[in-house]
Amino acid sequence: MGYYDALFQPLKIGTMEIKNRIVMTAMGIHYEELTNPDGSYTQRGIDYFVERAKGGTGLIVTGAMQVQNKFEADHQGTTISTAGESYIKGMRPLTEAVHKYGCKIVTQLTAGTGRQAPYWLSDNSDPIGPSDGLPNVWNPDIKHRALTIDEIRTYYVDGFRKGAVVAKEAGFDGIEIHAVHEGYLLDQFAIKNMNHRTDEFGGSVENRLRFCKEIIDAIHESCGEDYPVLMRYSVVSKMKNYNDGALPGEQYTEFGRDYDDSIEVAKYLEKIGYAALDADNGTYDSWFWPHPPVYMPPYCNLDDCAFIKKHVNIPVICAGKMEEPAVCDSAIAEGKIDAVGMARMLLADPAWANKAADGKPEDIRPCIGCQVGCLGRLFLGKRMGCAVNPQTCSEKVLELLPTDNPKKILVIGAGIAGMEAAKDLAARGHRVLLYEASGQVGGAFIAASSMSFKEQDRKLITWFENEIKKAGVELHLNTRITKEMLAEIQPDEIVVATGAAARELSGIPGAGEADIINAIDALTSRKSEIGDKVLIIGGGLTGIEMSYDMALKGKKVDIIEMKDKVLDMPDLCAANSQMLKQIIKYYKIPIHTSAKIISLEKGKITFEVEGEKQCLEADTIISSIGYHANTALYEDIKDIYGSNVHLIGDCAKVSNLLNATWSACELAVKL
């Protein structure tokens, strides 16, 4: 008997047997560094998947590949159904490499987005869907037209057939259909309130799923009845209406697929030959369910997946913050689900499975649900990565190879950037001395992780602390580095990771006398001073997150923001911002935008909105107006040490966790 026996039992999905119950669910890596013009993966893309196979994953599902490119403006490139021999040749090295580690791999084929086509739809796009008049998710003023029966069969069903043949020839062990899930096109056909057709593709469950039946029939006809076809599936839609998602625990009437409908749909998918349900919840209207951010509870989809498993005899894979091996193992052992689905967990730590198998869950690098490196970058048109794991999609580019020139390297500051640099430099064989002025590691991330819903952030600090110890880093706490100490230590290289400090309000009458608490102090040293009625100046991410944390504690909070909207950050994932906006609405947190502060007094703010003067009183006023780089030490020593002193993290550029870890790892590879 080993660790987590249920998690590491084999599983049959149709004729395919996977070695354990750990499934890497699809995560798009469509970017020129990772994907060839024909849709196959470059060597860098292959390395990304192989690292997860090497890490012990039982089944990998690759990112969705289009089967048609006629309608949607964001999918005008090569499709799998037209790629042909070049795709087969490009993908065989991937499937062969993954198989060497005993891992199975299926590719995901997609019918596309329908009403979820991105808001940057070009003027010549053709917004399509199951029915006329459906509103676009990103721009509801755009209305979608209904696909014709001929279009469904010519461009989609035949595209799936051709694509499956190509995928099988490339060595894939099966196909996953994308999807009766997340509100994508096939899901729109399946959901009654989105499918108003009166022909053979609308009405009854069988008609609404005729599209799915014709797809699987075409694949089995061309690839054989024994070729496994999985379905990506949302158990329930978690929708109150279009662009209105339901929060966990919220009482609401389901607009999309509810339990009763889901039973019928799941049973019919099994009946027509789908080999497994790769399941979670939600649509783009409730995007925080299929892509749960930090604010969602762990295992958020487990109960719903366990419900649907009672009604089908095919395997049910459950995805959605499946964090701890022990919980995953118990869910499988108790028969709630058949396997766990992971995407971001395996971005954060590709060796999740091996570490669990070795009985070392504390060694697993936690995903914190920030979604900055994965979905956030994807929707900015950038290469996907991971904020906590800079090597994701850069497995060889940022490989920590042994150095030929070991050095004595001093890292100043044990925040996230400093700890990432220290462990990476030590992994390369350098002697690393890490100095921290305070009595604990974590830096500004201590404050960020202090909110009640940020358990994974706190685990990340602990993980880093354990990793630097294991790496042999010499850690010195309660020690502030001076120029004189540098002369004594005589390092070969100096890495400055002194982070950032909270900006203070200035230039406003009364600012100096009003006892304003900055965000960092409000989350740490002065946390106990926060009263029941709070005013937060600043509607950025920290300000909004603090308001949520305080609302959970029963405090009354108002937000004052000088911009015309809150959460105005391009790299914030839409799922995260969407959930925070639902939280603001649910907890009735007043937001005062376009506000110009006129004066401050103790417990009182006077401000102006569109020429109208307003006054708010509170027990506590918190300033959350951003941060400035702490570069004082660097300025003192840069002329002395020249090119041997390096800035990383927030003291180089005030940004986010991704910048901290990536800048640290990139430097470690160079030194």
Closest CA to 212 of 194, 235, 237, 189: 189
The one-letter amino acid at 62: T
State the sign of the Cα–Cα–Cα–Cα dihedral 73, 142, 382, 23.
negative
- Where do the H-state alpha helices sit in 272-368? 302-309, 325-333, 344-348, 352-357
What are the Cα distances from residue 466, in Å, to 40, 213, 384, 386, 473?
38, 51, 27, 20, 10
Determine how many CB atoms are found less than 10 A away from the CB of residue 373.
29
Phi first, then psi: give them for residue 660, nearest 5 degrees: -65, -50
Strands (E), 220-312: 229-234, 239-241, 244-245, 277-280
Confirm if 159 and 68 have CB atoms less than 8 A apart: yes
279: which strand partners? 233, 318
Confirm if 156 and 213 have CB atoms less than 8 A apart: no
Beta-sheet pairing, 595-601 with 604-609? antiparallel
| DSSP category for residue 11 | E
Confirm if 139 and 119 have CB atoms less than 8 A apart: yes
CA distance 412 to 419: 10
CA distance 659 to 529: 32
CA distance 317 to 330: 14
SS3 560: strand
Confirm if 491 and 624 have CB atoms less than 8 A apart: no
Lookup: tokens for 350: 């590709």
H-helix or E-strand containing 143?
strand 143-146
For tokens 């959901």, the residue is 191
CA distance 551 to 43: 48
- Where do the H-state alpha helices sit in 41-79? 43-54
What are the Cα distances from residue 459, in Å, to 348, 361, 455, 623?
13, 11, 6, 27
Closest CA to 550 of 538, 558, 541: 558
The one-letter amino acid at 63: G
Q: Provide the total of helices (H) and of strands (E) in the chain, helices listed first.
A: 23, 31
Beta-sheet pairing, 408-412 with 175-180? unpaired
Beta-sheet pairing, 612-617 with 604-609? antiparallel
Lookup: tokens for 235: 């158990």
State the sign of the Cα–Cα–Cα–Cα dihedral 77, 80, 84, 90.
positive
Catalytic site positions: 184
Strands (E), 554-602: 556-560, 591-592, 595-601
Confirm if 54 and 267 have CB atoms less than 8 A apart: no
Determine how many CB atoms are found less than 10 A away from the CB of residue 583.
19
